[in-house]
Amino acid sequence: MSGIIILPILIIYILFAVFIYKLTTSKILLILILIFPFWDLILQKGVKTYYQAFKMEPKIYAMPEFDKNGKVESLGLEEVTQRTFEYFKTDKDFQQYKDTYKTFLKKISQFSEITTSLRNNKTQLVRIFHSNKSLKKYEVVDKQLARYQIVTTAPKAYFFGLYKKRYYRLIDTNKGNKVLAEAFEIRFTDKYAFFRRNILWWQTGTGGNMVYVQKIDNLAELFEKVLSIKVSWLTFNTNKGWK
């Protein structure tokens, strides 16, 4: 709904709150009425601020094994990243991929595995070979074989469903899927936004909320601290696995 319609509704709601205040002369009641449509956002913002202030460091339990060049053997990112398959159609496209992610590729000695998207909305798992000794540049595969892999947990609701949290775990498959490090992602739900949607009509034309608390995660910090890989430029498909 457009802002032209929303603004009068908000003005009417504020006038209603002032009217109640005039009847009761209660400042507490006035404040409660004014913040009522946004109480869930206030709590969500408090949760987000707490995590940002005290909980953004990933948990590191052990370090992976690096070779003499500071590289890990192989890395599987099937559950967290997705790139277009266009990168792999021609030699020129593949070279563009290598140039774009050269910092990332230099940290892995043998191969990495990522999910690629196709035009029919399906995905494929692609194994990209980093070693100059390999005769292949890449291949489409059915299963990850990388020694180190990022796996995710199912999202779990907290605080009466105000937000959901899931974990990203770096595992070593050579050591019985031992967890080396752990990061998290938090998404704030609109479970209690019915008042804004249905009464204040505080939503966009597609039905989404115009005001919301953005998600947070520390996956990039895990990559930087554990694998010495800066991933601020690498697009992670953190939508995968959310319901």
Reported as a single tens digit per residue, the pLDDT across 4-15 is 566 677 788 888
Q: Residue 65 pLDDT > 50, yes or no? A: yes
In a domain, 90, yes or no: yes
159 backbone φψ class: left, alpha, beta (φ>0; ψ -120 to 50): left
What radius of gyration, in Å, describes the C-alpha atoms of the chain?
Answer: 24
Report the run of H or E that residue 128 belongs to, with start and end. Answer: strand 123-129
The dihedrals phi and psi of 29, each to the nearest 5 degrees, come to -65, -40
Q: Are the C-beta atoms of residues 155 and 242 closer than 8 Å to each other?
A: yes
**Residue 218 maps to a domain:** yes
Tokens of 151: 């796996």
The pair of structure tokens assigned to 65 is 């094994």
Domain annotation covers residue 21: no
Which residues span the domain enclosing 127?
39-243
pLDDT at 1 over 70: no
Whole-number pLDDT of residue 2: 47
Residue 12 counted as domain residue? no
Q: Calculate what percentage of the chain has a pLDDT beyond 90.
A: 43
Is residue 34 included in any domain, yes or no? no
pLDDT in tens, 176-207: 999 999 999 999 998 888 767 666 555 544 44
**Cβ-based neighbour number of residue 166 at 10 Å:** 18
- Mean pLDDT across the chain: 84
pLDDT in the model for residue 147: 97
- Residue 190's H or E segment, with its range, is none
Q: Is residue 226 domain-resident?
A: yes
Which whole number is the average pLDDT over 99-110? 83
Q: Could you tell me if residue 54 is inside a domain?
A: yes
Provide the pLDDT for residue 186: 95
Residue 15 lies in a domain: no
What is the per-residue pLDDT across 14-42, written as a single tens digit (0 to 9) for each? 888 888 888 888 888 988 888 888 899 99
Count: domains in the chain: 1
